[in-house]
Chains A and B, each alone.
Chain A
């Protein structure tokens, strides 16, 4: 959350810097830099976003709606939501537990654990998918046993969920570890000395202190879970109406030259992304506000 807070706090400083003639840049420098940034922003961010919506509606509303209400598309939506619905809570619990352990306790192998948490970030998603195929696939380690017991993981829904959980693993933990480390453990110690048990300490002291960071992590996890392509693509098997998620569905439509339908479904993902961004911004705003009220301003600090 540190990033989110810094963003809002830093704003005042920049305004003050720009407000004074002594510290202001010349207009030429200023507008060149702003112009460069805006051009870059327009070409690489705004244009693609517009293109998605323009292409989606090129053949009119009806084609758009047909593409979205197609049974295969609806099934893809369901599967995507299911994957997100399972992976987000799982990673929320795991992320909080891991961050708690890493930030508040000293133990052997701590650095190894931190490195392990980062693994999904550093490994290519395709490799991640492949790993699951090698473990659970027909030729994999557990393949024969799974076949004998009639359990399907690869090319089925469990595989997709597994791959999604894997790639979204680090978000919550990574968000919380620096936050909890910065907060230290004095408040927790104070709670325990005052007679609170472990659960009470977590619920009444730790959780309120990390809630905005946690929510931020959850939003990021959700965004990645919905949009994941690589790992899911490897384990999915692309069975229409069964193991296709939204990003996979978009790819199939595109490969079959159904551009409008592909963009229509893509616009759904884009809208989801926009909503996510709005929520993320709102959280950042709230976090900055609660940061201000908990840490006060320098004025309040010195008043006695």
Chain B
């Protein structure tokens, strides 16, 4: 089933949680709502589920306005961050709950319920735990039971609120892969909320990046990572270096240094001397030995972390860039070739650069 939200607005007192959000979730996709805590992603999920009421705007399920539909009639499956399993019920009873609560006329027979519960428990590979209580399960098991319980009512959409947020890193990784496989099997329209960019990029078909109640960018994981649309997305997805400077004939100047030799297309459209911030990922920077003031930003190597496949080099800006910190990623070969040393004065030249006009603070 497709989900569409239109012009959703929601505030808590003076705090605007969602500001005019319009999104489209096509049938069968697994979409991640990604953003820092407090960006409104969970609120949006709860509004779609009906657990929260938007101040204005519409939620369309399969093209029909669901704003007036009660939560229990929306046929959504909701998985809570802290599982919200019924503590006093066994795993079996937890999964059977949704079917047992149906009005008598629609309720399946006891035998049917039993078969369905075991089918679901097999799907989440935990059939052997049917008689246990939630307290006797590990976090990962609880989350899978919560998912089985949500699927028991045959929801038309699946909403997951930080599903792996409360788990440790190893289990989280395992469950991610498992969720992806499950989705490929069931093809149920799913939205999951996360603040973990790795999780979103790895699992989702599409990623919706949110910040301060706004949608910053929508796209495939590849798109949002390779071509971030806003400074926020750039800083939020992966490590990144910021260069604070100003434009001059399409060149970016940081202090007296010129960041790159070629004029930047975007920077050329800006007014002379406009304040800009330029982004480059750690692997998109080259370290050149200090060759005068020809090109690049002057910096001093403060630390070299040379374990693993790649080496990380931390630098402090000098001259115009003083007070700014940079990070460069080099392969081991490059390190051996160039032989950088701590305390050495170098110049940083970006191989790829994305420039935004600097607004606000």
Q: Which residues of A are at the interface with B, using a C-beta cutoff of 8 A?
A: 186-187, 189-197, 200, 204-205, 208-209, 290, 293-296, 300-304
Contact = CB atoms under 8 A, between A and B. Distances in A.
B317 interface: no
A200 B171 contact: no
A295 B135 contact: yes
Given A186-B80, A193-B76, A196-B101, A296 B149 contact: no
Interface in B286-311: none
Contacts of A186: 80, 82, 84
Interface string B88-103: 1000000001100110
Contacts of B273: none
Interface in B131-168: 133-136, 138-141, 149-150, 152-153
Interface in B86-127: 86-88, 97-98, 101-102
Contacts of A190: 78, 80, 84-86, 149
Contact of B138 (A193, A205, A303): A303
Contacts of A205: 86
B133 A193 contact: no
B173 interface: no
B233 interface: no
A204 B89 CA distance: 10
B341 interface: no
Interface in B69-89: 71-72, 76-78, 80, 82, 84-88
Given A189-B80, A193-B72, A294 B88 contact: yes
B153 A194 contact: yes
A194 B88 CA distance: 17
Contact of B51 (A189, A194, A195, A209): A189
25 contacts: A186-B80, A186-B84, A187-B86, A190-B78, A190-B84, A193-B51, A193-B71, A193-B72, A193-B76, A194-B72, A194-B101, A196-B97, A196-B101, A197-B72, A197-B101, A200-B101, A205-B86, A208-B86, A294-B87, A294-B88, A295-B135, A301-B138, A304-B138, A304-B140, A304-B171
Q: Looking at B49, B80, B84, B150, which has the most chain A CB atoms within 10 Å of its CB?
A: B84
B88 A209 contact: yes
Nearest to A292: B135
- Nearest first, the 5 A-B pairs at minimum CB distance are A304-B138, A296-B135, A194-B98, A186-B84, A190-B84
Most chain B CB atoms below 10 A, which of A190, A208, A303: A190
Contact of A187 (B84, B98, B135, B171): B84
Interface in B200-234: none
B94 to A, nearest CB: 9
Contact of A195 (B101, B135, B139): B101
Contacts of B86: 187, 190-191, 204-205, 208
A159 B282 CA distance: 81
B97 A293 contact: no
A204 B135 CA distance: 18
B48 to A, nearest CB: 11
A26 B77 CA distance: 60
Contacts of B149: 190, 194
Contacts of A195: 72, 98, 101-102, 153
A192 B72 contact: yes
A5 to B, nearest CB: 14
A257 to B, nearest CB: 56
B171 to A, nearest CB: 7
Contact of B84 (A189, A208, A301, A303): A189
Contacts of B150: 193-194
Nearest to B82: A186
A161 B87 CA distance: 38
Interface string B43-83: 00000010100000000000000000001100011101010
Given A189-B51, A195-B153, A293 B101 contact: no
A293 B135 contact: yes
Nearest to A295: B135
B134 to A, nearest CB: 8
B313 to A, nearest CB: 39
Nearest to B81: A186
Interface centre among B98, B135, B153, B171 (most CB of A within 10 A): B135
A143 B158 CA distance: 63
Contacts of A197: 72, 101
Given A296-B136, A300-B136, A303-B138, 13 more contacts: A186-B82, A187-B87, A190-B78, A192-B72, A193-B72, A194-B97, A194-B152, A196-B98, A196-B101, A209-B88, A294-B88, A301-B138, A302-B138
